[in-house]
Structures are given as C-alpha cells and as structure tokens.
Amino acid sequence: MGGLTIEGGAAEGAATAAPHGERRRRKRSSVARPNPFQFENLILRPGTVPSNCVMIDFQIARYSPPAYDVMSLLNTTTTSAFRAVYLDRLAAQYHEALQAELDWFQINVDEVFPGDDFRESCEEYKLAGLIDSILFRHLTLLPTEMASECKECPVPVSFENLMENSISEMSTKAWDSCENYRYLMGDLLADLVDTYILAE
C-alpha cells in the first residue's frame, strides 16, 4: 500500500521576480504522492511536526470553466436574497481579481477570458452552481454534533460510505431540529424551484 510521507520544514526556494516590484517566494516540499489518497495512507515520520502542509485531492475534479466554481461558491455561501442584489457585482469582482493574479504572470485576462465571455459563462452556469450547492451543502451544513457521526463511516471514507451511513437520516434530523440548517437548505431549494422550475 502506498503512503504519503510528510516531513517537517519544507525547503524554501529562491525569490521570484514579479511585476510591480513584487517578490514572491516559492517553497519546495518533500511530500511524496500518496497512492491512493486516503487518510490511512498519510504517514508522519516519528518525531517530526508537519509545517505549511496543504493536501489537495482531485478525485472528483472535472473539466469546467471558472464560472462554474464561482457560481457554486456564491450559491454555497450566500442567500438567494443576497444573490439577487450582489451576484453580478461579485462575479465582476472575481474577474478583476483574476486579472490581478494573471498580471503576476504578465498575462492579459482579456486575451484568455474576456469579461463578456465570463459574464455569459456565469449566466450559463448559474443553474449548475445552484445544483452543485444543493448536492453538497446538505452535508457541509450539518451541525457539528451531527457531522461528528460521520467518523463512524467505514474506512476509506467515500461518498457511497457516507450515504450508507444514514446521512439522509442525519439530514432529516438536522432539518427537523436546526433552524439555521432548515432556513439555508430551504432557501436553496426554493431558489431552484422558483427560478428554474415554476418559471418554466
């Protein structure tokens, strides 16, 4: 079985010049790739303490435009009333922030993702972002005491294992007992029905 070894004290690389006089430092890690990426494969060497450790699992990654992630994020972190007022403004803010990041690589955002194309893409992926939020937010919004029950899932943890571990029952329990959970999930579902089902 493959494993991921994490050693303390990542080596720091040389400073890299950037536009506008900025200088950013890159850090080199001695982290090995786990195979497969499961938490029982994560190994810490005895006597070491990990520092600046970031783990990214691309298992459910899919090809999609940036607008998909933006719409998913905004649906997940805001209410429908907030989105009705600020969604377009926040999407525009994202495009400006993207330009600032690409400036560091001396890339013009309008050459790779013009503002008009981004706005059209956001409009196209509003529904996808809303559905994505509904599919996962019923888990991420679970109250802490209920979410802790997920620790009883078989190892390795998978979406199928979570479903088999009575997640639907926990979601129903949260809906019945937690006002905040009921309000936020109800708001997402009402937005889906009112905007995309009844509107048709």
Neighbours of 141 (CB within 10 A): 20
Strand partners, 4: 42
Residue pair 28/115 in contact by the 8 Å Cβ criterion = no
For the purposes of burial, counting CB atoms within 10 Å of the CB of 62, is it exposed (0-12), middle (13-18) or buried (19 or more)?
exposed
Model confidence at 1: pLDDT above 90: no
Q: Quick one: what percent of the chain has pLDDT higher than 90?
A: 32
Choose from 13-17, 55-59, 106-110, 155-159 the range with maximum mean pLDDT.
Answer: 106-110
Question: For 18, which DSSP code?
Answer: -
Rounded CA separation 141/161 (Å) = 18
pTM of the complete model:
0.62
User: Average pLDDT in the 39-65 region?
Assistant: 68
User: Average pLDDT in the 93-97 region?
Assistant: 91
Rounded CA separation 196/131 (Å) = 11
- Res 141: pLDDT: 85
Segment 8-43, tens digit of pLDDT: 443 333 344 444 444 444 444 444 555 555 656 666
Rounded CA separation 131/190 (Å) = 12
- Res 185: pLDDT: 92
> What are the boundaries of each domain within the chain?
66-197
CA–chain centroid gap for 154, Å, is 24
User: Average pLDDT in the 103-130 region?
Assistant: 91
Question: If residue 44 lies in a helix (H) or strand (E), which one and from where to where?
Answer: strand 42-44
Model confidence at 113: pLDDT above 90: no
